Amino acid sequence: MTTTSRIGLAALLSLVLASPALADRAGPDWISAEQATQKAKAAGYSSVTKIEADDGHWEAKGVKNGRVYEFHIDPKTGAISNEHLDD
């Protein structure tokens, strides 16, 4: 393997390994986790048991109508989307 190939491979590996770590952080213009939790409660969730940044949105788990759901929260508006029962 040539030096150029090694450098290219090292650069590619560093990008691949760094990407997941960067994807799971709240952006500087996002609402806070606390604000996102309040938006979920306003949308009918009696409790929010988990909230974390994931792939460009807040991902949360909460109880609504006595059932546990997973859902996304828009990081800028607080809108709830992609609600589904947590199986």
Q: Which domains does the chain have, with CATH numbers?
A: 26-85 (3.10.450.40)
Residue ranges in the chain modelled with pLDDT below 50: 12-13, 15-22
Side by side, the strands of the sheet bearing 47-54 are 47-54, 57-64, 67-73, 80-85
Cα gap 65→57, rounded to integer Å: 24
pLDDT at 19: 42
Say what the pLDDT of residue 24 is.
86
How much is the pLDDT for 21? 47
- How far is Cα 41 from Cα 15, in angstroms, rounded to an integer? 37
Residue 2: per-residue pLDDT: 77
pLDDT score, position 87 = 80
